[in-house]
Amino acid sequence: MESENTAEEPAVPYNQPLDFQQVWRMFQETDRQLKETDRILTEKFQETDKQFKETDKQFKETDNKIRKLDQLFTSQWGKLVESLVEGDLIKLLKEKGIGVERTLLRAKGNHKGQNFEYDIVAINRSEIVIVEVKTTLRPDDVDDFTEKLWKAKTYMREYHDKIVYGAMAYITADGSSDRMAEKQGLFVIRATGNSASIINEPGFMPKAF
């Protein structure tokens, strides 16, 4: 009696020729699926990129609004400080031996194409005191203002024969910028509450510019 062969026959005999048309159809279908997947991913990426750009635009618009509000607040607050300092300036300078006949707010102009502006100018017959007002006084402000003082007689020719002194007024000082201003020969005026005061060390002598 012959033994039965229990092993399964292969589904496709090894010697069966390949159906290239079937393989080609499979290839085309796979290629189609890949292209469809790529299309979907591209659309998703473009949508996500659009959302990112829109979000970035909104952030920039918000940042711009905040910056404008900050500038407006600083500008308005600066004007209030200027008015406060100007109101006390005649009394403060008189205490330091400098009589003041009149004051000017925001003396501005143009000299040979270069714009200039000085916050407050206190004037008498032989002297002027130019005051720079800052809500927060920083070291760079001191350097910039000192440079402006040296140019004052050039910018404002009507004061070319007067002695020029400088003063920096502020609410808060960054680091030791107030002491730095004093070392540069400037009056240092601190605005607090509803008044202002000169806080230079006793015996301070202002520098003539």
pLDDT of residue 70: 45
Measured CA distances, 156 to 47, 118, 122 (Å)? 60, 10, 13
pLDDT tens by residue, the chain, 209 residues:
444 444 454 444 545 555 667 767 777 788 788 888 888 888 887 877 777 677 666 666 555 545 654 454 455 566 778 888 999 999 999 999 999 999 999 999 999 999 999 999 999 999 999 999 999 999 999 999 999 999 999 999 999 999 999 999 999 999 899 999 999 999 999 998 778 999 999 999 999 99
Q: How far apart are CA 191 and CA 171, in angstroms?
A: 5
Q: Is 95 inside any structural domain?
A: yes
Domain, as residue range, for 172: 84-198
pLDDT tens-digit readout, 3-15: 444 445 444 454 5
pLDDT of residue 119: 95
Q: How far apart are CA 194 and CA 209, in angstroms?
A: 30
Instruction: Give me the sign of the Cα torsion angle 150, 156, 160, 164.
Output: negative
pLDDT of residue 46: 82
**DSSP-assigned letter for residue 6:** -
pLDDT tens-digit readout, 90-116: 999 999 999 999 999 999 999 999 999
pLDDT of residue 56: 66
Measured CA distances, 203 to 87, 185, 187 (Å)? 25, 12, 12
Q: Is 100 inside any structural domain?
A: yes
Domain count, the chain: 1
Q: Is 159 inside any structural domain?
A: yes
CB contact at 8 A, 120 and 89: yes
At 160, which CATH number?
3.40.1350.10
Q: Is 162 inside any structural domain?
A: yes
Q: How far apart are CA 100 and CA 48, in angstroms?
A: 66
